[in-house]
Amino acid sequence: MIKKLSQQLIPLLLTVVIFLSISVLLYFFIQFLDSLPIHQKIIPRLHLADVLIGLTIYIKTAIDFAIFIGNLMQKHPGWKNRISIESGTAFGNFLGTLFILTVWTFFKEVPLLLIMMIVVAALVLLGMAEEGLNDFYKNPLHFFSTSAKTILQIVFVSLQRINSFAAPLTRLLLPKTAAKDTSGQSSFFLFFYAVTIPLVLGLDDFAGYIPLFTVVNVFGFAIGVFLGHMLLTASLFASPSFTTKVVRSSFILLFGSLAFIGISLWGFYEAAAMLLHLIFG
């Protein structure tokens, strides 16, 4: 009984330790970026609103991740394997966040590059919104009125048309690779494989964060992303099937998709405003 309880608690406690560790590392990484000769410094302030935004956005973007990790945990049972998967994905999520933060830090020093980066990120968000609505339509829609269904259908068709033009560009810049067969692999291998999962499945998700960087504190937002990952992996460890069901609920899919559309439109607005300022001063 005690042994079984310890095998349940150790991975859960480890998720908290990893969350705190990468949060501290993020703080020092931002200090390093601020020490470089850049004009706009990153102020590492922690506001609850920024954390909640990062947490909410991460949970919505992590649907495919939750399904993949849930299947991986079921395929590789045992607390040692799950520790490898949890710690590996947390580190991969950390690396992906640092990569996007670093790119954004240097691109914002060159306005034209930043404008291009925001536009691509906004297009990525529209693609993610279409994916979310596509999954949303797979669920029963009994609670929605006819007029609401009509409006959603118009939005969905509009997204499909826009993304049909933008998809070749976003796929070229942010490709996704197929999953590997991990049958019979050791916990050591699982850790390094797990590191790559957020980078492969979630590179477009990381890029989609960028339009928000102009309205939130990136430190608080990133902490929210890390917190979301911690809660998601802990839930997956406790109950993979239930967690997957929750993140695929109609409410989360619809709310997340509409949020992505709103953030994308904000990104286009920011890019247009920056371009006009660059042209006319």
pLDDT score for 178: 44
C-alpha span between 170 and 168 (Å, rounded): 6
C-alpha span between 25 and 29 (Å, rounded): 6
Is pLDDT larger for residue 228 or for residue 38? 228
Backbone φ and ψ of 197, nearest 5°: -60, -50
Residue 177 has pLDDT above 60, yes or no: no
Query: Which of 48, 63, 53, 69 lies closest to 252 in space, CA to CA?
Result: 63
Average pLDDT, the chain: 79
Residue 70 has pLDDT above 60, yes or no: yes
Please, which pLDDT band fits residue 184 given cuts at 50, 70 and 90? Answer: low
Q: Which long-range contacts (CB under 8 A, 24 or more apart) does 266-271 make?
A: 266/211, 266/215, 267/118, 267/119, 267/121, 267/122, 267/125, 267/210, 267/211, 268/119, 268/122, 270/118, 270/211, 270/214, 271/115, 271/118, 271/119, 271/122
